[in-house]
Structure 1
């Protein structure tokens, strides 16, 4: 199996509100089938899909899939100021601050926020893993 994540699908309660939230962060939609919203990322796509439809696809009741499930999505930035700015942008778009930007013991700078459906994002600067020329992240540096 190739070491790859191609598509990250988030179950959302209100696809229009969630799409507007991510657009307020500066993300641009790409064409997608009706009922799906997609944002192409660097090497992956983030999809928004109605919670009830995703649950049906999996054979579950919608109450069985929620927001935070012990997984965080991470957005790494090249510097601390970028973390501060993006954290504020998440809040301005209607996200919920979980832990404000702060220095961490290992030498980085990080914060945690949640989107409208409770999906948790880590916004971080890792000085030991500088981003590549296109903003791509690799553990230990691109």
Structure 2
């Protein structure tokens, strides 16, 4: 098996609100139309949005689970200024900051926000390990 994450699907309470947050608020490029499901191209992987109840039904799990989901999504950027910029863009789009951007104990810089459905996103600059299209392993 060649390990990879090709798509992350988030279960959301309000499709229109979630689509607006990611497409218009954060500027993620959307593929297709409609509000039954939404897909966003993330330069090598995809973000999917699907109604929370329908996603739970498809996975055959309880849709009423609540609390901390024990995971976060990460968006790595090229500088501390970009961390600040992305966090501010998320705030402007309706996100809630859970950790203001700050230096980390591992030598980087990061902050966290929650999207309208409470999914955690870390925005980080790691000067030791940058993930970007120009840094594809040779």
Give the 5 Å matches for 1:41-120: 41-64=42-65, 66=66, 68-120=68-120
Give the drift of 1:107: 0.9
Aligned to 2:41: 40
CA distance 1:106–1:31, shift in 2 (3 Å): same
CA distance 1:36–1:135, shift in 2 (3 Å): farther
Query: Which stretch of the first structure deviates more once superposed, 107-116 or 123-132?
Result: 123-132
Structure 2: runs of 5+ lacking an equivalent: none
Give the drift of 1:33: 7.2
* TM-score, L = length of structure 2: 0.90
Give the whole-Å Cα distance in 1 for the aligned partners of 2:69 and 2:51.
Answer: 17
Structure 1: runs of 5+ lacking an equivalent: none
Asked if the contact 2:16/2:35 (under 8 Å) is kept, the reply is no
SS state at 2:112 partner: strand
Aligned to 2:128: 128
CA RMSD across the alignment: 2.0
Which consecutive aligned stretches of 4+ in structure 1 deviate over 3 angstroms post-superposition? none
* TM-score, L = length of structure 1: 0.88
Give the whole-Å Cα distance in 2 for the aligned partners of 1:124 and 1:116.
Answer: 20
Query: Which stretch of the first structure deviates more once superposed, 30-39 or 67-76?
Result: 30-39
**Residues 41-81 of structure 1 deviation map (CA, whole Å, 9 limit, x = unaligned):** 121110000001011112223203x5741111000000000
Q: Does 1:8 align with 2:17?
A: no
Residues paired across the two proteins, number: 137
Give the whole-Å Cα distance in 2 for the aligned partners of 1:127 and 1:72.
Answer: 20
